[in-house]
Amino acid sequence: MKLSHFQFDLPKELLAEYPAENRDESRLMVIDRKKQTIEHKLFKDVIDYFDDGDVLILNNTKVFPARLYGNKEKTGARIEVFLLRELNSEQRLWDVLVDPARKIRIGNKLYFGDDDSLVAEVIDNTTSRGRTLRFLYDGSYEEFRNKLTELGETPIPKYISRDVTPEDAERYQTIYAKEEGAVAAPTAGLHFSKQLLKKLEIKGIKFAEVTLHVGLGTFNPVEVEDLSKHKMDSEELKITQEACDIVNEAKAKKKRICTVGTTSMRAVESSVSSNNTLNPFDGWTNKFVFPPHEFTIPTCMITNFHTPKSTLLMMVSAFCGHDLMKRAYAEAIQEGYKFYSYGDAMLII
């Protein structure tokens, strides 16, 4: 498969600027790989496709307010700082992206907050937009993290052209988010409401939680025609023994195992044993799933509608089958489905 196989024209008005009014009332496209059929439902209808003993694999990562705005010393120029990952908690070193990057050099200082209560010094260049910052703050580590949260903004995707609203802090977060560390939400999970999760639980569906801290690498454009040459950024992943037990028991009983989102899919496909069971994992993964790929753990997946040439679309193609995926996307555009982070959902069975 080549990069050009994943190009399609996406009308701009189909990029969702706002979430659906109710989480579980987004639209749901159901794709049956065996029957080669496409159905149109609401997300809450997802319950009809699962039975007692089936498993949903959820990514319980929690988005932190990763976007900060500071001012450059002397010039006062407004600089956006996007926190990617903490490198050293004692020294308060962070990997960040800065914008505009051409103005930010090693040795520059940035001031945050109306009272300049937080200062950062640029100590290294990592990529064209990437920098390493050392934060200077008078206070404990806990107080420093609280300050970052206070000054930070919910990191809704750049394509959303409006300002961040207080509602985004709640809606750009799954209701089962627990482990803080993501700079982007695992968006397929945004469609689950508390009521829907409860109904699934009552029906006997089990939940296996994994933690994959979503980084910006997930959204980095693929710039090589030969997909095997693309390198994914590493993301932190944790899979517990408890999650493995839930999944492996369902697998042994031939129950339906559904990954909620491409991040959950990448998590489980990163840690498969030689016996084709799920292994515990604690580390980093740069797994890139693209066609052809033989999936060993999931029998179905829930995902959103993705943008052209994205690694997420490539994973969906690998799971769904490329021709069926293309047909589904053409129908989604024709039917006015909403795409991307706040968009509608797809269930592939």
pLDDT at site 240: 98
**What's the CA gap between 306 and 339, in Å, rounded?**
6
Q: Return the SS3 of 183.
A: coil
* CA dihedral of residues 130, 85, 232, 239 (deg, nearest 10): 180
Q: What pLDDT was estimated at residue 103?
A: 81
Least-confidence region, from 87-96, 123-132, 272-281: 123-132
Cis peptide leading into residue 100 (ω within 30°): yes
User: What SS3 class is residue 131?
Assistant: strand
68-123 confidence digits (pLDDT tens): 999 998 888 899 999 988 899 889 999 999 988 888 889 999 999 888 889 999 99
Dihedral, CA of residue 282, residue 341, residue 57 and residue 227, to nearest 10: -60
Each residue's pLDDT tens digit, 130-167: 899 999 988 899 999 999 999 999 999 888 888 899 89
pLDDT digit string (tens) for 197-247?
999 999 999 999 999 999 877 767 788 999 999 988 889 999 999 999 999
Cα 321 to Cα 316: distance, rounded to the nearest angstrom: 8
Backbone angles phi, psi at 284, to 5 degrees: -125, 145
How many Cα neighbours within 13 Å face the side chain of 90? Answer: 0
Residue with tokens 């640029």: 122
Residue 71 belongs to what H/E stretch? Answer: strand 67-72
* Among candidate residues 192, 140, 172, the one with its CA nearest the CA of residue 17: 172
Element (H, E) at 303: strand 300-304
Its pTM surpasses 0.85: yes
pLDDT value of position 215 = 85
Residue with token string 């997802």: 46
The pLDDT of residue 310 is above 80:
yes
Whether 287 has a pLDDT exceeding 90, the answer reads yes
Q: What confidence score (pLDDT) does residue 79 get? A: 92
Pairing relationship of beta strands 78-88 and 281-285 according to DSSP bridges: unpaired
Confidence of residue 186 (pLDDT cuts 50, 70, 90): very high
The mean pLDDT of the chain is 93
